[in-house]
Every structure is written in C-alpha cells, then in structure tokens.
Amino acid sequence: MKPRVNLWRAIVPALIGWVGAIGYWIASGPDEAPAARADVAIVLGAAVDGEEPSPVFRERIAHGITLYEQGRAGKLLLTGARGAGAGIAESEAARRMALAEGVPEEDILTENESVTTMHNLVEAQLVMRDAGAETALIVSDPLHMRRAMEMAEALGIDAGASATPTSRYQSLSTQAPFLLREIYFMHHFWIFGE
C-alpha cells in the first residue's frame, strides 16, 4: 500500500501545479497590439435572450463596433447560430445591434451555422475567404481569448487578439467558474482538436 500512497503524493501536487500553470496562462491572455488593424473583426458568438444579445454578447458586439469605428477593422464578421430558446441566430442579433449603432450594412458579414468557438472560427474563415479578407481581430471576453487564439492559429487564420475591456465577468465569483471552464475546454481542444 505504501508505494501507492507515495505515488499519489507525487501525482496530486503535480496535477495541481499543472492546472494552476494553465489557469495562469489563460488568465494572462495572449499579447495584444493596441494599434493593430485587420480586414475584419470576428465577434465570437454568445447567448441571445429572445431576440436580444445577452449582456455578455452585447459587450463583445460593442467592442467589435468600437474597433470598426476606430478604423482598426474594415468590416464586422458576426458569428453564431440560433441557440436553444433563442428567437433568432446570435449573428442576427449582433447584426441588428450593429445596424442600430450606425454600422453600414455593407460592412457587416455574418454566418449563422456555428455553435461552438471552433465552429465560429471555421465558419468565419469561410466567410473571410468569400469576402477576400485576409486578416482578422478576434473579439471575445479576456478569459476566452487564449483558447480562441490557439484555435485560430490551428486553423491558419492570420489573426490578432482584441479582448473586450468591458467583460461582464468582473468579480471573482463570475471569473472563477469561467476560468475553470476554459481550463477544461483548453484541454479538450488539445486532445480532440475542437
């Protein structure tokens, strides 16, 4: 029995250290270039309440609009299918918000097929190809950015990171579950590629 106990004494601290290191890496986020410009800002989808963007999604869309207004993104590329219980697709809710904020319709690209982060990026890449866009700024919450950028790199998307500065995940009670979720899904991506 003693060798098994000694093995666990070695494994448990190593696992805790690994999870802590990955959590820190995710929380520190990818490098951002504040003056970077791109052909499109890819706004990663999030939930819709009825026909309105959820508070989390609203902040992502608002940041994408800011990038567009600052001239850092030539067009908005809005992603996301219709989720369970939603009245419309995430991308359509985002499109309506962008139009209401004065973004011209010709500068809004959408895809309404994707249901996961990887799927968002796969579909966005297809839209980029059709539109002749070569570069992107990826927009999401800070704790989501590391995984999104790892996925974009795996797909060969020439992209920079642009985390929303107004994330709804501000308190420890909201950030901790989000970070644990991201640690899990980062490992899922490394193992399964999605």
Taking the chain (194 residues) in consecutive chunks of 10 residues, what is each chunk's mean pLDDT?
Answer: 68 89 93 92 94 94 98 98 88 98 98 96 98 98 96 98 83 83 95 92
Predicted confidence at residue 20, as pLDDT, reads 92
Which residues contact residue 185 at a Cβ distance below 8 angstroms, ignoring those fewer than 6 apart? Answer: 117, 147
The 10s digit of each residue's pLDDT in 58-71 is 999 999 999 999 99
- Which listed CATH number (2.40.50.100, 3.40.50.620, 3.90.79.10, 1.10.150.120) goes with 2-192? 3.40.50.620
Is-contact 124 77, C-beta < 8 A?
A: yes
What are the backbone angles phi and psi of residue 64, rounded to the nearest 5°? -60, -40
pTM: 0.91
* Length of the chain, in residues: 194
Predicted confidence at residue 170, as pLDDT, reads 67
Nearest CA among 149, 158, 165, 143 for reference residue 67: 165
Predicted confidence at residue 82, as pLDDT, reads 92
